[in-house]
Amino acid sequence: MAYTRQEVQDWVKKLDLNTWGPTEVYWSDQFHRVHVIAADAESEAVTAKIHAAVEAEIAAGTTDETDARDFLEHLIVTDYAQED
């Protein structure tokens, strides 16, 4: 994956996803994935917003399409769950 962890974290902030509640970005080069944890019951909305933003950047030519598709393929968004 060509995106860096910092680029993804900056992007989450740019999309205001971090204002919806606890949003964390976990990065694993070893497993080749990005895991975003969104606020309670917001994972579907966050996933849709990320996909729309990526598609917009591809259409505008502001990101490499191969890298963007790779990012989306390895993106996992789950809901935040407080530990008991």
In a domain, 18, yes or no: yes
Tens of pLDDT, residue by residue over 33-59, are 788 888 778 889 889 988 998 899 899
Q: Would you give the distance in Å from CA 30 to the centre of its chain?
A: 18
| Domain interval for residue 35 | 5-79
Where residue 84 falls among pLDDT bands split at 50, 70, 90?
A: very low
Specify the pLDDT at position 37: 82
Per the structure, the count of domains in the chain is 1
Q: Taking a C-beta distance cutoff of 8 angstroms, is the pair 24, 34 a contact?
A: no
Structure-block tokens of residue 32: 């080749």
Considering only residues 21 and 51, tell me which one the structure prediction assigns the higher pLDDT: 51
Q: Taking a C-beta distance cutoff of 8 angstroms, is the pair 63, 57 a contact?
A: yes
In a domain, 84, yes or no: no
Helix (H, G, I), strand (E, B) or coil at 16: coil
Task: Report whether pLDDT(60) > 90.
Answer: yes
Considering only residues 69 and 25, tell me which one the structure prediction assigns the higher pLDDT: 69
